[in-house]
Amino acid sequence: MVQRWVRITAAGVDDPRNVSRRRREGWMPRPLDTIPSEFKELAARADANQGVFVVDDLMLCEQPVSLSMARRKYIQQQTERQMVAVEADLERAQVPGNPIHKQHTSGVNTGVGRRVQVREDTEI
């Protein structure tokens, strides 16, 4: 199973639309009885009526790995189709003698910004 936190409230107001959207994507609340006892104390409110694990405004959900991988593959295929369509539109929009130059790369510039010092974990 793959897990993720799903927002159930925003600014103190219930957000059933977000929960419903995630359920349609295949995310189901993880049953409270499947959570190890040492993690149950993290729950600010464990909803006894629904039997789900809730911490603050988030509910722990899960879905099978196969469903997660299928969704990821579908999104990747949609992205590739969109890129093909963009390239076709650019080809049609070109004017003879004035070509459109395409650069489909992305990168991360690590030379900008400040370096963050990471503190070693220490036992208290």
pLDDT tens-digit profile of 42-80? 665 555 447 788 887 888 899 998 988 998 899 999 999
For CA atoms 90, 81, 25, 54, the dihedral sign is negative
* Contact of 48 with 54, CB cutoff 8 Å: no
Please tell me the predicted confidence (pLDDT) of residue 57.
83
**DSSP collapsed to 3 states, 107-120:** CCCCCCCCCCCCCC
pLDDT range class, residue 36, cuts 50, 70, 90: confident
Output 121 or 83, whichever has higher pLDDT: 83
* Contact of 60 with 7, CB cutoff 8 Å: no
pLDDT digits (tens, 9 = 90+) for 79-110: 999 989 988 888 888 877 777 777 767 666 66
